[in-house]
Structure 1
Amino acid sequence: MRPLLQAEQAVLGAVLLDPGQLPRLSGWLRPDHFYRPHHAALYAALLKLHSDGHPGAGPQPIAPTTEDRKAGAWPTAAPTAGRDERLAWMDDAIAEANTEVRGLTAVYLHTLIAACPRPAHAPVYGRMVLEGAIHRTVAKHATRLHQMARADTVRGSAEDTLHYAQVLTDVLSDLARRWGTDPRPMAPPTPLPQPAAANQPPASEELLADEEYLLAVLTAHPDALGELVGWLRPEDFANPGHGRIYRCLGALHHRGEPVDEVTVLWEAQRRGALADGTLTAEDVLRLCDSKSPAGIADYLGEQVVRAALVRTAASAARQVRALADDESLAPGRLIGYALHALSPLDDIRRRWRAASGAPEAASAPHPAPQPTAHVPSSRADAALARSRPHPPPSPNARANAPTPVSPARSSRRSPS
């Protein structure tokens, strides 16, 4: 936490020394981006004084450098009026901030000033504060999504999980725009670690019973497979063996072959499900009871997809939280990797809505990007604080650039 604390002190010290730095920060750095409550209250107070036209927020005398402060020397060219306005700027900032918190004193303001090497570097210090806020915000919302998924597992619902998954996606998009990058999924160089099976909540007995009954219904009434293959996948089953049997049922149905416990057992053997120990012949014969009474296959399939959606959300939330806890990960990559971890939810959410008959939630349209000439100066300052601009490509390089090819959309297939 020490580097983040140093950055928060430095940006506040820069604004106290040179209030003219505030317009370069106010467009993208908010008080809630600060980790320390006292720092957030002081920054909010400085923003308010600046917007109210405080005399101390105008042009200031030359600020002392670090060398000047170490030597105890302050510029002597500053007029007395300028020094009085600066003192009033600091005193009023303390008074305004102490309406929200307690304990801010002039002594601590001098500590903040001493922590700022160069006031002109305020956008760089602000970027560091924003980077810490992005990690904390992503971790907080990922934790909330995981909690809602666990609660929905107990309740047997999925609405809260869907809501907080959308909240997390919207937060990532907003943070990307504040950071100055596009909110698009980015595959990490190495696959994200999958949560250990010991950390995953066990499937409920009710869900496993629904899966078993669904397999029996589909074996006895294979025509019902035509209603399910469009939105139910083998990987949606909580029990891997149940998913292997469903794949065998789908394969037989796709080929137009008879479906009963014997044909399913033969198909499971052909697919290696008996050899690798996933299933035994007794399991297949027990689960695929062709004498099973009729049941509502689409309702049972909907419960399987719903439970798979909640499990997928919980797994994605754990992955996003692990990414957010990695302080060495740059915000742009953190946001891209997090969106990539959430991407499996998009497909299963569409399939669950198709199964339940719920309409697709309308997503709010993103604002159109502004032309470069109208980009706010504060956002430009934030971008320049991160890196140097790349030189424009030469005309020859631009002419020889390959035309990007959009990836082909994968087709939906049956579970065979």
Structure 2
Amino acid sequence: MSPLLEAEQAVLGAVLLNPGQLRQLGWLAPEHFHRPVHQALFAAMRKLHADHHPASTAENSVPLSWVTDTVEEASRHVRGLTTSHAHTLISACPHPDHAPVYGRMVLEGAIHRSVTAHAIRLHQAARADALQGEVEGALRSADVLRNVLNDLARRWGTEPRPVAPGTPSVPGPVTPPPSWTNQVAEDEQLLLGVLAERPKAMDEVVGWLRPADFADPAHGEVYRCLGALHHRGEPIDRITLLWEAQQRGLLADGTLSSGRLAAICDGVGPGSAEWFGEQVMRSSVTRTAATSARAVQALAENEALAPGRLINHALHALAPLDEVRARWQSANGRSAPTPPAPSPNGPPPAQVHAARTRSTSRPASPPAPRPGFAPSPATVRPPSRGHS
């Protein structure tokens, strides 16, 4: 049995033994449990507690109806649940007063699962957009992932902020479909041809298009050469471009060849630099979204990574997409959304309470009795731990 499953059983057993523990678990939600039966049981406990079940106000002993009513309420949403299963959960709880710690473990597992699931959705949306020549699906999925990270940070009690990992994970390369690769390469080459033929067209794209936006690194280096000549105010033609490439060592290291540069400069046809630039920019957005999604997924699948660090590292992994998105919005005459600024007064009180609730030390008390097991004469059990 995995540690996470044992933690889920323990926190449920703790609340079955002592419903008052729910007051310490306000930051834990049913959807944070992995198993549907555990989700149903925790939701049932919260509902009965909110409806002022007699167990919620019991000061000494907890009425046995607390267990039976919880099982009955949960059975409306899952099948096959019995009272014996509830007693199994009670037996799995080493100490009811440790419920906030067990709940923290459950929340940790939920954070990793949730971040993984949304990263996968972002990757799928980016791939779908790339095939359809769109970007909106990927950008919406990125917004959802960011909102999820911010919400999880509040539940965990930390301030969401991008932090670079000490040893950054390197996701595997994104393998685009052949049709996508061919179209992107053609758009990139046509754009470079237009810029080499009509140097003034650089003014249409230089403000928002970067060498890293080109899928083909060689095309990105050609664009870098064009940008350098444009910045220095020097003439742009096949010869000056070839010379600039040589000065940058691109011919010596094999990145470019004189024949390839000649093909780019001589193969131009009619076209708009701004239009081709937007096509290159669009593929850059979806490609960056897919890369960011893979990086976030790799972080979330590392179970040893603490939730606070996972959230902040994931926000850092989304930063390249934010930068590309801002330039995409600029190319289309729209402003990029501004992320919320941190509160100058520190984290909200509810966020601080969530963090403190999970870590507040409590005085040790004897373990609760298990139904069906009589205490030995030498063991003193407080009456509040049993069911009557």
**TM-score class normalised by the smaller sequence:** 0.7 to 0.9
Which residue is equivalent to 2:87? Answer: 110
Q: Secondary structure at the match of 1:277?
A: coil
Letter in 1 for 2:52: G
CA separation of 1:279 and 1:204: change in aligned 2, threshold 3 A: same
Structure 1 match to 2:372? none
Q: Give the whole-Å Cα distance in 2 for the aligned partners of 1:336 and 1:371.
A: 15
| TM-aligned CA deviation for residue 209 of structure 1 | 1.0
State the Cα deviation string for residues 182-218 of structure 1 (Å, max 9, x = none).
1001111112214236x45555212211111111110
Task: State how many pairs are aligned.
Answer: 361
Whether 1:122 and 2:121 are equivalent positions in the alignment is: no
Question: Residues of 2 paired with 1:100 and 1:268: CA distance?
Answer: 67
Shift of 1:383: 4.4
> What is the CA-CA distance between 1:4 and the residue it aligns to?
0.6
The Cα RMSD (Å) is 2.2
In the TM superposition, residue 275 of structure 1 has moved relative to its aligned partner by 1.1
The aligned counterpart of 1:297 is: 273
Q: Secondary structure at the match of 2:236?
A: coil
Q: Which residue of 2 aligns with 1:20?
A: 20
Counterparts of 1:298-377 in structure 2, within 5 Å, are: 298-361=274-337
Q: Are the equivalent residues in 2 in contact too, given 1:123–1:385 (CA < 8 A)?
A: no
The verdict on how the C-alpha distance between 1:138 and 1:376 changes in structure 2, with shifts beyond 3 A counting, is closer
The Cα offsets for residues 72-124 of structure 1, whole Å up to 9 and x where unpaired, read as xxxxxxxxxx4xx5211111001000000011111111111111111111000
Q: In the alignment, is the contact (CA less than 8 A) between 2:157 and 2:354 conserved in 1?
A: no
The corresponding residue for 1:285 is 262
* SS in structure 2 at match of 1:329: coil
2:116 corresponding residue in structure 1:
139
Question: Partner amino acid for 1:133?
Answer: A
Tell me the CA shift for residue 286 of structure 1.
0.7
* Structure 2 stretches lacking a partner, 5+ long: 363-388
Q: CA deviation at 1:362?
A: 5.8
**In structure 1, which of residues 205, 229, 243 is the aligned counterpart of residue 182 of structure 2?**
205
Match in the other structure for 1:50? 49
Separation in 2, partners of 1:324, 1:114: 31
Q: Distance in 2 between matches of 1:127 and 1:276?
A: 54
182, 191, 194: which one aligns with 2:159: 182
- The one-letter code matched in structure 2 to 1:278 is T
Is the 8 Å Cα contact of residues 262 and 285 (structure 1) preserved in structure 2?
Answer: no
Letter in 2 for 1:168: L
User: What's the CA shift for 1:348?
Assistant: 0.6
Any idea what the Cα deviations from partners look like across 1:116-173, whole Å, max 9, x if unmatched? 1111110000000000000000000000000000001100110000110111011111
Question: Could you tell me which amino acid in structure 1 is paired with residue 283 of structure 2?
Answer: A
Kindly state the Cα deviation for residue 382 of structure 1 after the two structures are TM-superposed.
Answer: 2.3
Counterpart in the other structure of 1:267:
244
| 1:232-271 equivalences in 2 (<5 Å) | 232-271=209-248
Alignment of 1:2-17 (within 5 A): 2-17=2-17
Is the CA contact 2:169–2:298 (under 8 Å) kept in the aligned structure 1?
no
Matched, 1:276 2:261: no
Overall identity of the aligned pairs, in %:
55
Residue 380 (structure 1) shift: 3.0
Question: Which secondary structure state, in structure 1, belongs to the residue aligned with residue 336 of structure 2?
Answer: coil
Change in Cα spacing, 1:25 to 1:148, as seen in structure 2 (3 Å) is same
Does the CA-based 8 Å contact 2:135-2:286 persist in structure 1? yes
- Paired with 2:347 and 2:112, the residues of 1 have a C-alpha distance of 29
Deviation at 1:20, TM superposition (A): 0.7
Residues 192 and 264 in structure 2, CA contact (< 8 A), matched pair in contact too: yes
Distance 1:263 1:138, change over 3 A: same
**Secondary structure, in 3 states, of the residue corresponding to 2:287?**
helix
**C-alpha distance in 2, partners of 1:370/1:267?**
51
Partner-residue secondary structure (3-state), 1:94: helix
- Aligned-pair distance for 1:229? 1.2
Q: Deviation string for 1:20-74 (max 9, x for gaps)?
A: 1101102x1000000010000000000000000000122343xxxxxxxxxxxxx
Which moves more between the two structures, 142-151 or 252-261? 252-261
1:158-197 → structure 2 map (5 Å cutoff): 158-196=135-173
Q: Which amino acid aligns with 1:300?
A: F
**TM-score normalised to the size of structure 1?**
0.82
Aligned residue in 2 for 1:382: 358
Contact 2:158 2:351 in 1 (8 A): no
Task: Tell which deviates more after alignment, 363-372 or 257-266.
Answer: 363-372
AA partner of residue 286 (structure 1): A
- In the other structure, the counterpart of 1:40 is 39
Q: Distance in 2 between matches of 1:370 and 1:50?
A: 32
Counterpart for residue 79 of structure 1: none
**Structure 1 regions of 5+ residues with no counterpart?**
62-81, 387-416
Aligned to 2:166, what secondary structure does the other structure show? coil
Q: CA deviation at 1:360?
A: 2.8
Are 1:135 and 1:325, in contact at CA under 8 Å, matched by a contact in 2?
yes
Distance in 2 between residues matched to 1:200 and 1:16, nearest whole Å: 51
The question of whether the paired residues in 2 share the 8 Å contact of 1:18 and 1:60 is answered with no
Distance in 1 of aligned mates of 2:317 and 2:83: 46
Amino acid at match of 2:302: D
